A = this chain, B = another copy of it.
Amino acid sequence: MRDLILKALQQEERVSGEQLGKSLNISRTAVWKHVNELRKLGYTIDSSPRLGYSFISSTGLLLPEEISHGLDTRIIGKNIVYREEATSTQDVAEEMARNGAEDGTVVICERQTKGRGRKGRSWESPPLHGVYISIILRPSLRPTRVPQVPLVAGVATSRAIKRVTPLQPRIKWPNDIIIGGKKAGGILTEMSSEVDRVNYILLGIGVNVNTRTSLFPEPTRSIATSLAEQCGENVSRVKFVQCLLADMEAVYSQFLSSGFDAIREEWKALNNTIGSRVKVSSGDEELEGEALDIDREGFLLVRKENGDVSRVVSGDVMLTHRLSS
């Protein structure tokens, strides 16, 4: 009901409590109670005795009713779960996935107390300025194809950033979002699987949207940036999440129906890794050489000093210098 009232308020310039009540089949007093609840959530809603209610501004919170308003996706974000605080969106999503949450369920937290990056690293997650989401995916994919999913997510995240800012994000293989040479976003792909069958994927996306990275501890501070810092003004987090979910649905659907090939060129156009000298740590191994390309499965091809070419499924890349070629 609260959700319906919010929608009605957002659609009309001004509407009386009586009209609202009639259209929703509730009393004026009930309308008034719901409006007060919305105010408590942070919405600014004007009311005047004769003219009725008028919607003035949103909360800035990533409330599901805010995100859903105008979101036109079929799967991703049809079900949105919101938490003011959690250890991490991945933890919430895992619990939900184990209990059968449907494909495309999105978990959004304002604040993570134990935000996670790849390999058990932490992800700085100050409240109300960043975007921290996890998407539960249940594709009919072999586990061996799952390493392509973070690349898909990197493309979608870049598209969303381009839609809400004038920025040109780049992707460092496999999926760091780089703007102005610094990291603005990261992607963590976890899965539960059998040997030949994915149970579910938890796709975690963290983007520093309006985050003041000067408040981060070192060494994160020196290598991190945010969209707001790069474009000089705050960005609507609600708008950004809406774009991210829509772009994710578009790119991911394309990937599922036509394979990784369908998005490989777009990934390559966005990437900053191919053509550079790189140091790659992957598992227990380290290798150094020239990043030649990504292959049709999304593996990074690295030509080592001795001329051998290694295929790397995932890892940490340090760009050493761009080659003249």
Does A194 lie within 8 Å of B119, measured CB to CB?
A: yes
Whether a CB of chain B sits under 8 angstroms from the CB of A21 is no
Of chain B, the residue at the smallest CB distance from A190 is: B194
Does A314 lie within 8 Å of B144, measured CB to CB?
A: no
Residues of B within 8 A of A193 (CB): 190-191, 193
Does B195 lie within 8 Å of A192, measured CB to CB?
A: no
Contact with B along A23-49 (1 / 0, CB 8 A): 000000000000000000000000000
Of chain B, the residue at the smallest CB distance from A191 is: B193
9 pairs of residues in contact across A and B, judged by CB atoms under 8 Å = A119-B194, A140-B283, A147-B195, A188-B194, A189-B194, A190-B199, A191-B194, A195-B313, A196-B314
A143-B143, A144-B144 given; A174·B195 CB < 8 A: yes
A94-B98, A98-B94 given; A195·B146 CB < 8 A: yes
Knowing that A142-B313, A191-B192 touch, tell me 6 more A-B residue pairs with CB under 8 angstroms: A118-B197, A119-B197, A142-B283, A147-B196, A194-B314, A195-B313
Whether a CB of chain B sits under 8 angstroms from the CB of A284 is yes
Whether a CB of chain B sits under 8 angstroms from the CB of A150 is yes
Q: Which residues of A contact B (CB under 8 A)?
A: 94, 98, 118-119, 140, 142-144, 146-147, 150, 174, 188-197, 199, 282-284, 313-315
Residues of B within 8 A of A119 (CB): 194, 197
Of chain B, the residue at the smallest CB distance from A140 is: B284
Bound CA span A189–B143, Å = 13
Does A196 lie within 8 Å of B283, measured CB to CB?
A: yes
Nearest CB on B from A71, distance (A): 28
Nearest CB on B from A210, distance (A): 28
Bound CA span A189–B197, Å = 11
Residues of B within 8 A of A189 (CB): 194-195
Nearest CB on B from A80, distance (A): 24
Of chain B, the residue at the smallest CB distance from A187 is: B195
Bound CA span A94–B282, Å = 26
Does B313 lie within 8 Å of A144, measured CB to CB?
A: yes
